Amino acid sequence: MRFFSGAIALAFVAAGAEAQVGHLPANSPFADLESGQELTFFGGYLAAARDPLGVVPRAGPMFGLRYEKTVGGPASLLVRFAHVASERNAVDPTSVTARQLGRHKVGLTLIDANIAVNLTGQKSWHNLVPVLNLGAGIATCGCTVELDPYRFGTPFAFSFGGGVRYVPGGRFQLRVDLNDYLYQLKYPAEYFLAPSPGSAPVAPGDQAKSFWKNNLAATIGASYLFFR
């Protein structure tokens, strides 16, 4: 582990030395990042995890806004709001003959705050800046369907991922990001109760009542940059 850490550190030192010594400033592949803040509108798709009973919000298109501000060196603080146009299957656990209530459109909202780090520091490399981020927030959903006791609630959500910024200069940039939202899902107690003697409940007896799921989001965004 120490060998690999040393090798990575040496590689970054060598890259920095090449930018400063091996190239004239006009020909260097590295360029200073002048902006300290950015506002990004993004769109993409959330590949929401499937649950055993098929009643939680499903995958769907997403869009949102993110605000990011440099807080020191290569690190920045980002706040992100995303909305997913999702669907879910509803069930009536008290019914035996007409249990399925069909598929309903629902809106899933994700709000989180992250620390992001530019892997090339305060410079771009050939106008590209690879980024990693880690944070937390909440997920919430207007998932209520009549006769179905399922409630999504407002679970705590971890978020982590990375992306690449394309910074050609000026006040605009493009970015591609891949993020994972990890949050807990819960089934209501009614799903585990048989509606009548001899009938089966919605959930089998060995089904967990709560569990964590990874939900991957791929997005493309356009940013407006605010200079220091």
Residue 222: pLDDT band by 50, 70, 90 thresholds? Answer: very high
> CB–CB of 65/39 below 8 Å?
yes
Strand partners, 208: none
CA 224 – CA 228 distance, rounded (Å): 13
Q: Which residue has the higher pLDDT, 2 or 92?
A: 92
Give the residues across from 76 on adjacent strands. Answer: 70, 116
DSSP helix/strand/coil, 137: strand
Q: pLDDT of 22-61, one tens digit each?
A: 555 667 888 888 888 999 999 999 999 989 999 999 999 9
Alpha carbon distance 160, 180 (integer Å): 6
How many residues would you count in the chain?
Answer: 228
The answer to whether the CB of 186 falls within 8 A of the CB of 210 is yes
The mean per-residue pLDDT over the stretch 197-220 comes to 95
Taking residues 124-138, report their average pLDDT: 97
Q: What is the pLDDT of residue 69?
A: 96
The arithmetic mean of pLDDT across residues 96-111, rounded, is: 95
Task: Give the pLDDT confidence of 135-194 residue by residue, as tens digits.
Answer: 999 999 989 999 999 999 999 999 999 999 999 988 999 999 999 999 999 999 999 999
Mean pLDDT of 119-144: 95
What backbone phi and psi angles, to 5 degrees, belong to 193? -105, 135
Q: What's the whole-number mean pLDDT along residues 113-135?
A: 96
Q: DSSP states of 164-216 as a string?
A: EEE--SSSEEEEEEEEEEEEEEE--GGGGS-SSTTPPPSS-TTS-SEEEEEEE
**In this structure, which CATH number among 2.70.98.70, 2.40.160.20, 3.20.20.70, 2.30.30.30 belongs to the domain 33-227?**
2.40.160.20
Rounded mean pLDDT of 100-115? 97
Residue 26: per-residue pLDDT:
63
Percent of the chain with pLDDT over 70: 88
Output the pLDDT for position 5.
42
Q: Residue 121's pLDDT is what?
A: 92
Q: pTM of this prediction?
A: 0.85
